[in-house]
Amino acid sequence: MRFKPLLLSLLSFSALAELDHVQPSSWWIGMQHKDVQIMLHGNDIGDDKVRVSYPGVALIDVQHTDNNNYLFVTLRISDDAKPGKVGITLDSDTAWVDLLEREPGSAQRQGFNNSDVIYLITPDRFANGDSTNDEVADLKEGKNREHVGGRHGGDIQGIIDHLDYLDDMGYTQLWLMPVLENDQASYSYHGYSTTDYYRIDPRYGSNGLYRQLSDQLAKRNMGLIKDVILNHIGSEHWWMKDMPASDWINHGGKFVGTNHRRETMHDPHAAPGEAAGFKDGWFVPSMPDLNQRNPLLATYLIQNSIWWIETAKLSGIRLDTYSYPDSAFLSEYTRRVMQEYPNFSMVGEEWSTNPAIVSYWQRGTKRHDGYQSALSSLMDFPLQDAVVKGLTAPETWSSGISSIYQTLANDFVYGNANDLVVFPDNHDMSRIFSQLNEDIALTKMALAFYATTRGTPQYFYGTEILMKNPGTDDHGVIRSDFPGGWPDDKVNGFNGKGLTAEQAGMQAWLRQLLNWRKTSAAVTSGELVHYIPYDGTYVYFRVADKQRVMVVLNKGQARTVPMSYFHAMLGDAKQGKDVMLGSDVALSGDLALDAKSVRIIEF
């Protein structure tokens, strides 16, 4: 009987000794920033003594919080260190961190740029390449393809299976909506409620499969852009069951909604507290709002992005809800990422149609308050709004196609407007075909414009086959399944089976346009010069040293335009070629334009 208390004591000690989380569990030798912060989470470890003994690795700091289940250990990694397993020894357990060698050229990786065309995919809705992961035992929500807000079974393997199709279409970068674990009870397919920052959701695949996707893209000279959420997590994140610190979540972990008024960040007349109401408020009760003013959390988020860039060999990051996190944190986040990867690309989502609001966050912009940013790009929401209005509103002095011209004329407010990402639609708004009232001619005009204007174009999956959302703005409908991504689909957008003539025609047309775009230095690296629109017709040129491209958007009736008016841009050129028709075009006399048409002329 006397041994039972001893046995119980040993069992209790074993429970105390187990570490639940070590994040990150790996890091690299030769990083520009030599320190790495390791989050340790386990029962009552906060008072443990910490020891590290590994050549070239020094213990720099140990941070405690008001939760005794956490320790934050900072290691300094010398360039002379060798790969191996670094043990962080506590009184009750040892945490192991893999020390890795970087791949050659990792720091000089090239981000996306104007030579690229980005394809945005909702992974759950693109293709189901592995039906065995549709249901995962330790995750709450399973497959329910009949429910527009449910999980449909698309995954990373499905994307890999169709890379040849995407390559053939002319896309060069894939932006996937978030693929990290989202273990929410419902509505988890969209990915914006992270429950583990270091784990690919098993219903999509694994960390290794995500890396395979990146490797397969690289073989095709394509890149991978990761969707990153710095502002909030999912309510089922493991942090919410054992908060790392009492100030980890804004408003003490209790829901207080954001006012969504990003103008308060810049408004010289804003009342006290209005800006905090924007920054610190939550989107919805299921998305706890992170407090990046906590320096331990700030470092965790910065390191997580760097870890994924290095692990998955990313070519870019898309930053969700960009302006909502703490502004000082965003400055440091962009500085640290660009310090490690000077040629990398990051694009922020600042959903405003006001160029002054959007431009504030871009590097190189002259700001009213001296704010520092290293963010290379933003999504050009002002231009997206202008194109839809320009193609659908009546032609007057102040409306119609001149909206496009007027918006581009505001490019002087940006640090570099050429670095913006331009797009006809995305996952949070009606599809462009629906926004343009299912008018195929206007849709072609819009898609051609985005392929030939300044910036890096992004298209949403299925745009090439005229996917639409008639009569509803439900996101589940907007993000409908790509036809052919499931074995029992009767229509297949990948091989053309069952597509209508209009769908097949648009697909072939966009394929031709995007593959031509790859060959055009004027479009991918040239300057934009445009003329004041007249009577529903807008003309602009893309100009490089040895090549020029003339684009004419004609929103109205059939007409002709005198080429002599554009002599300053045409110069002595006598003849060009219509890119889409393949026919020769005389650069003198009058140019004939069909009603609601676009012409792209290379010379």
Which residues make up the CATH 2.60.40.10 domain(s) of the chain? Answer: 17-102
pLDDT in tens, 252-300: 999 999 999 999 999 999 999 999 999 999 999 999 999 999 999 999 9
Least confident interval from 14-18, 267-271, 308-312, 404-408:
14-18
Which pLDDT belongs to residue 398? Answer: 87
Residue 511 has pLDDT above 90, yes or no: yes
Instruction: Kindly give the residue spans of alpha helices, DSSP state H, lying in 369-520.
Output: 381-392, 402-408, 432-435, 440-452, 475-478, 501-517
Give 120: exposed, middle or buried? Use CB within 10 Å, 0-12, 13-18, 19+: buried
* HSE, side-chain direction, 13 A CA sphere, residue 116: 28
CATH of domain 118-522: 3.20.20.80
Which of 434, 432, 458, 456 has the alpha carbon at shortest distance from 446?
432
User: How far is it, in rounded angstroms, from Cα 149 to Cα 125?
Assistant: 11
Q: Is 320 a catalytic residue?
A: yes
Name the catalytic one among 124, 320, 380, 419: 320
Can you read off the two tokens belonging to residue 299? 């470092």
pLDDT band of 3, cuts 50, 70, 90: very low
Can you read off the two tokens belonging to residue 398? 């102040």
Level-2 CATH architecture, domain 524-602: Sandwich (2.60)
Q: Are 23 and 303 in contact (CB under 8 A)?
A: no
536 Cβ contact partners less than 8 Å away, ≥ 6 residues apart: 395, 400, 401, 554, 555, 556
Q: What is the mean pLDDT of the chain?
A: 96
According to DSSP, the residues that pair with 101 across neighbouring strands are 29
Name the catalytic one among 155, 349, 411, 481: 349
Residue 314 has pLDDT above 70, yes or no: yes
Residue 17 has pLDDT above 70, yes or no: no
Q: Are 129 and 156 in contact (CB under 8 A)?
A: yes
Which residues make up the CATH 2.60.40.1180 domain(s) of the chain? Answer: 524-602
pLDDT band of 169, cuts 50, 70, 90: very high
Which pLDDT belongs to residue 329? Answer: 98
Domain 17-102 has CATH 2.60.40.10: yes
- Average pLDDT of the residues in 57-78: 98
- Average pLDDT of the residues in 374-381: 98
- Average pLDDT of the residues in 459-481: 98
| pTM for this entry | 0.96
